[in-house]
Chains A and B, each alone.
Chain A
Amino acid sequence: MSDTSIALALEAAEARLRSILQTVPDAMIIIDERGRIESLSTTAERLFGYDADEACGRNVSLLMPSPYREQHDAYIERYLKTGERRIIGIGRIVVGQRKDGTTFPMHLTVGELRTGERHHFTGFIRDLTDQQLTEDRLKELQSEVTHMSRFTALGEMASTLAHEINQPLTAISNYLRGSRRLLERMEGENVEMLRDAVSKAADQALRAGQIIRRLREFVARGESERRIESLPKLIEDASTLALVGAREHGIAVTFRLDPAADLVLADRIQIQQVLVNLMRNAIDVMSEGGAVRRLDIATATGLEDQVEVTVADTGSGLAPEVARQLFQPFVTTKRKGMGLGLSICRTIVEAHGGKIWVNSPPEGGTIFHFTLRAAAHDRENEDG
């Protein structure tokens, strides 16, 4: 081929690519191996709110929220170094960020192009904001969590019942024990019969206690399965599900994830359930009003082997008397719902050896905190 025909062929190829990018219904972005945007389709321009002129040459991390924004270069580097595919050819639901700062769930498929020494990556993006599509894509994840919720709600009820019944049983069995001691010092023709009756009553109180214990163990057993999980990944998956509709309510979402707070010992579904619950609560609260609507999700390493997760909103905050009993079952500030959500969160977090608490800072809003055990230090699997 002559130089001229090569130039013509190149021009034709470029024109074809341009026409594809203008007409392809999907959002499509091509980046080079350093993550810089080379071209993007018209749909992608519309979706993210950037013109091609504006976006081209900039790092594609522009289109994602923290913490992915900061980590994206490292993702590419790792892939080029190890060849290990985490997203290429697989496709995943991730979070995108528009020019105006709002985020949305999207399905991303990445393909790889190699020309000589150089790599290019093409991303196909489907916006999952559309309720119908979102529902389809998230149905699986959601049904998993819903199933677990029901299961945990049942366990929670059994556990609450056990606690509530154990209190009067404790009183009964100790009044009886004291009475028996008292009777040992007494004499009279009926005392012997009375002692016997009191002993038998005490035995029955203990029997009731054992039945309660067995019921609780039966419900508590089951599907809890603790493994070493990546905390950022758990948060990513949960937020994908929880943040549906956040944008419609004008809520900006920020992630501040400490890289040191990485591996935790957790039942994936259960901890996702806690995260989804806290995030949905925050969104519900902020949807009711307020000029600033910001949801902030952060992680940090805590004392010893603990990591701490916080979910903070800029809602109306909590009255101290509500905050105090918020984690008790059947306490709710909502018109709908049974008031079991946060109580379930507490059960799950405590079963993981962590703690959950809430505070309302003076400047407003509500911050939920919970801790999990870091995986490196403790692989114990429990609980009864």
Chain B
Amino acid sequence: MSKASDAILLVDDDAAVRHALKFSLEMEGFDVRLYPTPEALLAEHDLPADGCLVIDYRMPDIDGLELVERLRSRGVTLPVFLISGRVTRSLRARASSLGIEDVLEKPLSDLAASIRPVLDARP
């Protein structure tokens, strides 16, 4: 079962999207931390050992894929869900080459259902 301590780290540059996702995921029992920019997440020193990342693809300075690349190069192995208003096959292909769990298209009616099995599978 997902533990209450499973933190979901969410990066999206749209404030309304960020807060709405936090609200719905918290109602599902997850602990959610928000980051308005990729830089804010990269500046985070206290990354949890468990949990997952939810990252928006299209952001102004560093896009979601680049952010995942940077995190991987720092040894961050948390599972990643990429969210995007538009999911193309090439985006999926690039995401899977970075070991991203799944690419989910907005408006994301049930994000928790995608996340939960991945978190449950972890020891």
**Chain A residues packing against B (C-beta within 8 Å):** 159, 162-163, 166-175, 177-179, 181-182, 202, 205-206, 209, 213, 216, 324-325, 328, 350-353, 380, 382-384
Contacts and interface: CB of A to CB of B under 8 A. Distances in A.
B86 A216 contact: yes
B16 interface: yes
B21 A170 contact: yes
B20 A172 contact: yes
Interface stretch (B1-9, B45-53, B70-78, B107-115): B107-115
Contact of A177 (B85, B86, B88, B109): B109
Interface residues of B, number: 30
B90 A170 contact: no
A169 B83 CA distance: 14
Nearest to B29: A181
B98 interface: no
Contact of B107 (A166, A182, A380): A166
Contacts of B60: 324-325, 328
B109 A206 contact: yes
6 contacts: A174-B21, A178-B20, A202-B109, A205-B107, A351-B88, A383-B90
Nearest to A203: B109
B16 A171 contact: yes
Interface of B: 14, 16-17, 19-21, 23-28, 58, 60-61, 85-90, 93-94, 105-111
Contact of A163 (B20, B58, B111): B58
Nearest to B90: A353
Contacts of A178: 20, 23-27
A384 B87 CA distance: 8
Given A167-B17, A167-B85, A173 B108 contact: yes
Contacts of A177: 24, 27, 109-110
Contacts of A159: 86
B13 to A, nearest CB: 10
A171 B109 CA distance: 10
Contacts of B89: 380, 382-384
Contacts of B109: 173, 177, 202, 205-206
B30 to A, nearest CB: 11
Contact of B17 (A170, A182, A353, A382): A170
A136 B21 CA distance: 57
Nearest to A382: B89
Contacts of A163: 58, 85-86
B106 A166 contact: yes
B105 to A, nearest CB: 8
A383 B92 CA distance: 11
A174 B86 contact: no
Interchain residue pairs A-B with the least CB separation, the first 3: A181-B27, A174-B20, A178-B24
B108 A174 contact: yes
A160 to B, nearest CB: 10
B27 A182 contact: yes
Contact of A209 (B17, B93, B106, B110): B106
Contacts of A383: 88-90
Given A166-B106, A169-B106, A175 B23 contact: yes
